[in-house]
Amino acid sequence: MAENIMNLDTVALDEEKHALVILDQTLLPNEIKLLSLTDQKDIWEAIYLLRVRGAPAIGVAAAIGVYLAARDIEEDSYDGFYSRFLEAKEYLASARPTAVNLFWALDRMERVVVEHRHLPVADIKQRLHDEAVAIKNEDIEVCRAIGEHGLSLIQDGDGILTHCNAGQLATVKYGTALAPIHLGRERGYQFKVFTDETRPLLQGARLSAFELSENGVDTTVICDNMASQVMKNGWVQAVFVGCDRVAANGDACNKIGTSGVAILAKHYGIPFYVCAPTSTIDMEIKTGEDIPIEERPAHEVTEMWYKKPMAPKGVKVYNPAFDVADHNLITAIITEHGIVHPPYRENLRALFDAGKQAQHV
């Protein structure tokens, strides 16, 4: 494959074609294919089917998607335009229920419409364009900042375990949980990374291992149930994971299996870090108990990666896409504004009350 994955933005806006451009992650690692999407149905499907995935990337895709929807609204009156805009916003919001960035980005775009209601509709559309581009550019800066803070917690040569994919493929650039590794690689650090396979969609084996290998990082894929043995062997000095939503008390919702990794890390005395842009911290959610957990189709478990079904026909399947790591299991939450330590309820609130100024709490 001629194109290195690290040279591509996972999500982008094609200004000339007025299209959302995404890297189709369902085809990786065997095929690198960029999709150019203009129809709202196709954008919704891309989010639902995980062609674009990862909380930050979903947020950027939603922002660009709702801008494209607004651009096509043929209404000159503000009320007519706003009504149609809300329809488009609600449609995209229905694609995934758990990742808060989806709703955060769409709400941010709606604020642009509301705050500029006094302007002509054409000018509001331009403001929406500018906001979508800003959200994309901010994601790159946020991820780089998370990488800098995370890199301060590890040393050259460390073994690092990660679960699912919270790397460049889950954002526009760098990633969240993998950002410290990518930044360290730029500076010549030699980490040894273990990527959980991450059943049932194999984001660790297909995506994290792929992008890390493309960047020249020493990478070993392990099945999810091998993490305990790898930790027991002394090969892991830190765990870095991403998240789709953090509750006000520090409970972190991430790809299914993350809570098990957190429990193992606690048992073996290994620091467990959650990399969370502030856009994924939902102060309106008191605890992880209140976070809606998406349940995915059964065929992802029984058929998706097999030539023939690997389970008895008609057997019941429970396929939650996420679980919640209790705040008591989390060593620190790494944001773009600093590293937050327990007690999380007080310190996350302080982070927001301080206007998200750079701090280490």
Segment 296-315 shows an average pLDDT of 95
Please report which confidence band the pLDDT of residue 293 belongs to, taking 50, 70 and 90 as the band edges.
very high
Q: Look up residue 261 and give its amino acid.
A: V
SS3 call for 250: coil
Q: Look up residue 83 and give its amino acid.
A: S
Segment 58-79 shows an average pLDDT of 97
pLDDT value for 360: 42
CA–CA gap between residue 240 and residue 331 (Å, rounded): 10
323 is catalytic: no
Q: Which of 158, 244, 251, 282 is catalytic?
A: 244
pLDDT value for 357: 47
How many Cα neighbours within 13 Å face the side chain of 236? 34
Segment 227-239 shows an average pLDDT of 98
pLDDT value for 112: 98
CA–CA gap between residue 336 and residue 59 (Å, rounded): 16
Which residues are within 8 A (CB) of 241 and not within 5 positions of it... i.e. 6 or more apart?
Answer: 162, 163, 164, 166, 177, 252, 254, 258, 261, 272, 273, 274, 275, 325
Please report which confidence band the pLDDT of residue 4 belongs to, taking 50, 70 and 90 as the band edges.
confident
Q: What is the pTM of this model?
A: 0.90
CA–CA gap between residue 122 and residue 58 (Å, rounded): 26
CA–CA gap between residue 188 and residue 191 (Å, rounded): 9
pLDDT tens for each residue of 150-193: 999 999 999 999 999 999 999 999 999 999 999 999 999 999 99
Residue 102 has pLDDT above 60, yes or no: yes
pLDDT tens for each residue of 128-142: 999 999 999 999 999
Instruction: Classify the C-alpha dihedral 327-330-336-339 as positive or negative.
Output: positive
Burial class from Cβ neighbours inside 10 Å (0-12, 13-18, 19+) for residue 188 reads exposed
Q: For residues 240-256, b (16+ Cβ closer than 10 Å) or e, as one string?
A: bbbbbbbbbbbbbbbbb
CA–CA gap between residue 68 and residue 144 (Å, rounded): 27
Name the region of 347 (left: φ>0; alpha: ψ -120 to 50; beta: rest). alpha
pLDDT value for 1: 41
Domains for the chain: give ranges and CATH numbers. Answer: 5-143 (1.20.120.420), 154-353 (3.40.50.10470)
DSSP characters for 140-200? HHHHHHHHHHHHTT--TT-EEEE-S--BGGGSSSSBSTTHHHHHHHHTT---EEEEE--TT
Please report which confidence band the pLDDT of residue 355 belongs to, taking 50, 70 and 90 as the band edges.
low
Please report which confidence band the pLDDT of residue 2 belongs to, taking 50, 70 and 90 as the band edges.
very low
CA–CA gap between residue 261 and residue 253 (Å, rounded): 13
pLDDT value for 353: 86
Tokens standing for residue 324 = 């919640």
Q: What is the mean pLDDT of the chain?
A: 95
Segment 267-281 shows an average pLDDT of 96
pLDDT tens for each residue of 198-215: 999 999 999 999 999 999
CA–CA gap between residue 288 and residue 129 (Å, rounded): 34
* Phi, psi (rounded to 5 degrees) for 95: -70, -40
